Every structure is written in C-alpha cells, then in structure tokens.
Amino acid sequence: MSFKHTFEPTSLREYDIRGIVGKTLTVEDAYAIGRTFASIVIGNGGKTVVIGYDGRLSSPSLEEALVNGAVASGADVIRIGRGPTPMLYFGSVTLKADGAIMVTGSHNPANYNGFKMMLAGKPFFGEQIKHLGHLSHTGEVVPEAKGTVRTIDIKEQYITRLLKDYDGGDRKLKVVWDNGNSVAGDILKDLLVRLPGEHIVLNGEVDGNFPAHHPDPTVASNLTQLIDAVKKDKADLGIAFDGDADRIGLIDDKGEILWGDQILVLLARDVLKQHPGGTIIADVKASQVLFDEVKKAGGEPLMWRTGHSLIKSKMAETKSPLAGEMSGHIFFADKWYGFDDAIYAAIRVLGIVARMDKPLSSFREALPATISTPEIRFDCDDHRKFKVIEEVAERLRKDGANVSEIDGVRVNTPDGWWLLRASNTQAVLVARAEGKSAQGLENLKQALTVQLEKSGLEKPDFSGENAGH
C-alpha cells in the first residue's frame, strides 16, 4: 500500500511537531509521524522506537495511531505508557533505543498536542523535522512491513533512579508541590512517600483539562495558588511543573518566585564543587548575574541560543555538567543523562535546601539586585522577523556597540543589557532588558525602542510588571 501524507505547515516547529487537535494536528498526522520517523530510524540502521504519552485527553488516540504507523514501517515499538517527557528520555537511554517519540502538548493550552523526538539518543529537531515533513509528503518511506509491539512499565525504575541522587540526608523539609494536573502526578504519588519530609500536593490528579490553572510555571499568575499554600503552610519551598514535567517553577519560603536563571545559580554552585572549572550553559535571556555568579563559583559560564534541543547539543559538545534556560528547562549531565527533567531538578534542589543552614530566601536575597522587564513578545511576520534582527545587528556593529550575536542581539551597556531575538517557533520577536537601576532600565528600553522604530516597528508594550530579580 503506497503512503503519502502532507502536514499542516505550521505544525512542523523548530523543536517538535505541535498543533491544535482536530485542526492543525490529527490522528492521521500521528500515523504519518510514526510511519516516517520509523523509516528514518530504520534507514539509520536502527529498529527500536520507544513511545510514551502525556496526560492530555487527546494523547491516547494519538499515541495509538503513532504506534500503528511505526509498526507499519517494521519498527520494534516499546510502549512505556503515560508519564512525563523526561521518563521517555530516560527510557530511550536505559532501553538503548534507536529512536523515541513522546506525545505531548508540553505547556500549551488543553486543545493542543504534539510530538517530541529523539534519534540515536540525540534531539531530533530543526532541519530533521523539515526533512521528516518532506519524506512524508513525497512518500519516501520504507516499504510496509510488520513490526512488533511490547509494553514495558519503567515507572518504578525511573523513580528508583531519581531517588538515588537525593543527597539531603534525613532533614525533614516541608514542601508544597503544585502538580498543576500535569502528568508528573503519576510519578509524584509513588516518589514522595519515599522522600524524607512532609509533602503537600496541589492538583495532584492528572487531568488534561487543566482545571486549576494553565500548566506553565514561567508565568507568575500560574503560581499564585502555590505561593499562597507555601505561606499558609509555612513550607520551606514550593515546586511546580509544566504539562509534561520538563520545566520547573520554584518558590522560596517567603513565597517569592525564583526564576530559571536564579535556580541555575543555586544548582551551579553545588555542581561546581564536584566539577571545578566546569562549563555551565544558559540561554541568552538569562541575567548577567547568573554568568557573574558562575564565574565567582569557579565555573566557566557559556551563553548559548534559546531552545532545549540546541542546549542539549551544546552540552554534549562542551561536556557541560549543567545547563538551564529562563523557561525552566534544567539539564543535568552531572550524575544524570544530559536531558531536561523537572522532577530530577526538584530532587537536586531539595538536597541543596536540606543541606543549607539558612532558608532558601536567604540565597535569593543575597544575589545582586537588578530590575528587568518580563519577556516581551510582539507579532512580527515570519519572514520579516529575521530580517529585523539582521538590520538591528548591522546598525549596532556600525555604532561600535558591545553586542553578542549568538541568538539575535544582546547589547551590553553601562546601564545593563537588552536583548532582541526572533522566536524559532512563532511569528514573533522577543525582547528583554535588565538594568542596574530603574533609570538604567528606562535607558535600555529607549535604546531598544529606537532600534525597532528604525526598522519600521512600533514601540513594544513594556507595561508588564518589572520582574525585579
């Protein structure tokens, strides 16, 4: 039977395939991904594909179609069932799979879903996703065959491995966990009874409708329930997850948010004791404070492009023990496998806090204070967005500005820094600025506005609350 399938172009993203279920993403797409991705695995000399799915309502039917597609290409499929994306990554490593696919909509609203992939233990992204779309469209897949399917429950193995790296001794912390109805709930149930301390779980039930709040811990309004609970219960800290548990949110004992770069400082100081001089990677959106603190702790800070697949690739290249993004993706290669896992990051944070002789808030309060804008996203045509970055970069170079062009432009001035980059996944430009003072921040916003206006764009809306940190 001949095979050909064309995807809705907007669903083929930089780091994954993602869309609105029933509109830009269908079960036919899922079958085609299985059929085509398995063909790529087989063409690569492999045979085994591990498949898992998250807690969204549409995930079981998409997973079934995906499995059928992979089997039709002759793959030996291992189904690991429902669980977090990091559990799929763990399965891919421990089961020595040739390929892996996770059905997940990550932190998107409930009507979205998608697919994250790994090939030969490495992220499958960018040009590879475009190539998959091309092969499916032209029908360039292996002849139909009959693969095999088996189901393996790796939850217990995953939980045991997570607990192995808990290093907080017997100190009993009080911790509030906001599962946010995410798929991490399946793991937390069995994990927390085996961790020392008192553990309070909010929204523990896995529910793809996300009735409590949107499953994205990088948005402050999604953390209000957790903040209230930490204060009411006088907890040592609060931990939140996104929809597929590869991104973490952290609240200290005073109910204040620790952002991605602050979490990374906490972890880097600890990891660098075992890896003196180690390279610690963060994305271009991270605070200058992070890069300075890594240096102070004896590490080698490296600023890199935003995107979990890009960071993972850079980690492997530089043998970095730890990396992170402002979006809450934390990657450990120290004792762990180099992929982003919010539950594992939580275990490591708990170990550090349990060994501290002061509360977590004292760590946050001791960091140098800066004042920054939130991440500002504004619409810009997909073709135009990269051109704008080129124009701005060219003008800055002519002006002799202190500029990094790793990912968009990041401009350092005596007042602090500002950033402008094109999103890899949406038709938007992303801006951020961090000043050493309120006036410094105003100067940076003005400099950014001038550059945008020179490229014919309006002044962005900076009215989001200043994220002082």
Q: How many angstroms separate the CA atoms of 236 and 253, rounded?
A: 5
Mean pLDDT of 335-347: 97
Mean pLDDT of 363-387: 92
pLDDT of residue 467: 45
pLDDT band at 1 (very low <50, low <70, confident <90, very high): low
Write down all domains in the chain, each with its CATH number in brackets: 9-153 (3.40.120.10), 157-366 (3.40.120.10), 371-468 (3.30.310.50)
Q: Which residues pair with 118 in a beta bridge?
A: 100, 123
Which structure tokens are listed for 407?
């990912």
Four-CA torsion 264, 242, 88, 335, nearest 10 degrees? 20
Pairing of strands 248-252, 257-258: antiparallel
Which structure tokens are listed for 115?
């697919």
Q: Find tokens 């990396």 and name the residue.
A: 323
pLDDT band at 465 (very low <50, low <70, confident <90, very high): very low
As a whole number of Å, the CA-based R_g of the chain is 22
Mean pLDDT of 216-241: 97
User: Are 353 and 237 in contact, with CB atoms under 8 Å apart?
Assistant: yes
User: Are 333 and 315 in contact, with CB atoms under 8 Å apart?
Assistant: yes
Which structure tokens are listed for 114?
């998608």
Q: How many angstroms separate the CA atoms of 465 and 70, rounded?
A: 47
Residue 469 neighbours by CB under 8 Å, 6+ apart: 259, 262, 287, 367, 369, 370, 372
| DSSP-derived secondary structure for 248-293 | EEEEETTSPEEPHHHHHHHHHHHHHHHSTT-EEEEETTS-HHHHHH
pLDDT of residue 375: 86
Nearest CA among 91, 85, 97 for reference residue 54: 85
pTM (two decimals): 0.95
Nearest CA among 368, 292, 285, 289 for reference residue 329: 285
User: Are 1 and 39 in contact, with CB atoms under 8 Å apart?
Assistant: no
pLDDT of residue 424: 81
- The long-range contacts involving 120-124, CB below 8 angstroms and separated by at least 24 positions, are 120/44, 120/46, 121/92, 121/93, 122/312, 122/313, 122/316, 123/15, 123/308, 123/309, 123/312, 123/313, 124/37, 124/99, 124/309
pLDDT of residue 464: 56
pLDDT of residue 461: 84
Work out the mean pLDDT of the chain and round it to a whole number.
Answer: 95
Catalytic residue set: 106
What's the burial of 221, exposed, middle or buried (CB within 10 Å: 0-12/13-18/19+)? Answer: exposed
Nearest CA among 287, 314, 462, 445 for reference residue 378: 462
14-28 pLDDT tens trace: 899 999 999 999 999
pLDDT band at 466 (very low <50, low <70, confident <90, very high): very low
Share of the chain above pLDDT 70, in %: 99
60-119 pLDDT tens trace: 999 999 999 999 999 999 999 999 999 999 999 999 999 999 999 999 999 999 999 999
Pairing of strands 112-119, 17-20: antiparallel
Q: How many angstroms separate the CA atoms of 165 and 377, rounded?
A: 38
416-437 pLDDT tens trace: 999 999 988 788 999 999 999 9
- The vertex-174 CA angle with 173 and 179, nearest 5°, equals 120
Nearest CA among 190, 187, 246, 243 for reference residue 212: 243
Q: Which residues pair with 431 in a beta bridge?
A: 376, 420
For residue 468, pLDDT over 90 is answered with: no
- The long-range contacts involving 7-11, CB below 8 angstroms and separated by at least 24 positions, are 7/32, 7/133, 7/136, 7/137, 9/133, 11/114
